[in-house]
Amino acid sequence: MQPGDTYSDRCPTRLILDRVGDKWAVLILGLLAEQPTRFNQLRRTIKGISQKMLSQTLKSLERDGLVKRRAIATVPVTVEYSITPLGRTLAQAVDPLRLWAEGNVKEVLAAQRRYDQSMEKTARVA
C-alpha cells in the first residue's frame, strides 16, 4: 500500500474522505470558518439537521481536531464551537466544492431530467 493511496481500502485517507465528504460536516465547517458559534445558533442556521445529528457531527469534528468546544459558565451553560487552524485549512479545501455545487445545480438538475426522460422512453419501447 502506498501512503496516502485513497484507492486502497486499508488507507486511513479513506476514513478522512468519509468525514469530509459528510454534508453536515461541510455545512458546519463553513459556518464556523466565519465565526465561533453556539450550538443553538448552529442548529437554527442549518435547516433540517436534528439535535442528535448536530451533536454527533460536532463530536466527530472535535475528535478529528477540526473544531474546538468551549463551555461558557452562563446559567444555563452555553457551549460555543470554533474552528481550529487545521479545520480552517480543510474549510478552504472544501470551498471550491461548495461553490461548484452552488454554481452547477441547474445544470445537474437538467441532466437528471434528461436522463429520467430517456429511461422512460426506453421502458416504453421495451
Enumerate binding residues for a second copy (CB under 8 A): 4, 6-10, 12-14, 16-23, 26-27, 30-31, 45-48, 62-66, 86, 89-90, 92-94, 96-105, 107-112, 114-116
**Residue (33 or 46) nearer to a second copy, CB:** 46
What would the grid cell of residue 32 be? 464556523
**Residue (75 or 91) nearer to a second copy, CB:** 91
Kindly state the smallest distance separating residue 89's Cβ from a second copy, in Å: 7
| DSSP at 77 | -
The rounded Cα 70 to chain-centroid distance in angstroms is 21
**Residue (56 or 109) nearer to a second copy, CB:** 109
Query: Would you call 69 helix, strand, or coil by DSSP?
Result: strand
Kindly state the smallest distance separating residue 76's Cβ from a second copy, in Å: 20
Q: What SS3 string covers 73-115? A: CCCCCEEEEEECHHHHHHHHHHHHHHHHHHHHHHHHHHHHHHH
